[in-house]
Amino acid sequence: MAYCQALTNGMMTVKEDPELLTIEQAARLRGVGADSIRKLIRRGRLPFVNLYGRMLINRQDILAFEKNPPGPQKSATKKGK
């Protein structure tokens, strides 16, 4: 993937790789605020790359992100006995 090459060869910059987005760019792409993207990163729901002190997100990860992860969902109501 492009972001792995950026980390390993040290020659690629953020501007040269349109697949890497800043938090603000990712937020605009999803139509949410930057704080929402930061929360998803902190919770481990959205992967990121730390490149030269900047948190960057792969465009494909943002586009593929699902609001609710697959698997059992927490129920809002309790089941009685």
Q: Domains in the chain, start-ordered, CATH in brackets?
A: 2-64 (1.10.1660)
Q: How far apart are CA 78 and CA 35, in angstroms?
A: 31
Q: How far apart are CA 28 and CA 55, in angstroms?
A: 16
pLDDT for the residue numbered 18:
72
Q: Name the helix (H) or strand (E) containing 55.
A: strand 54-58
Query: pLDDT class for 77, splitting at 50, 70, 90?
Result: low
pLDDT digits (tens, 9 = 90+) for 10-63: 555 445 567 999 999 999 999 999 999 999 999 999 999 998 889 999 999 999
pLDDT for the residue numbered 55:
92
pLDDT for the residue numbered 28:
95
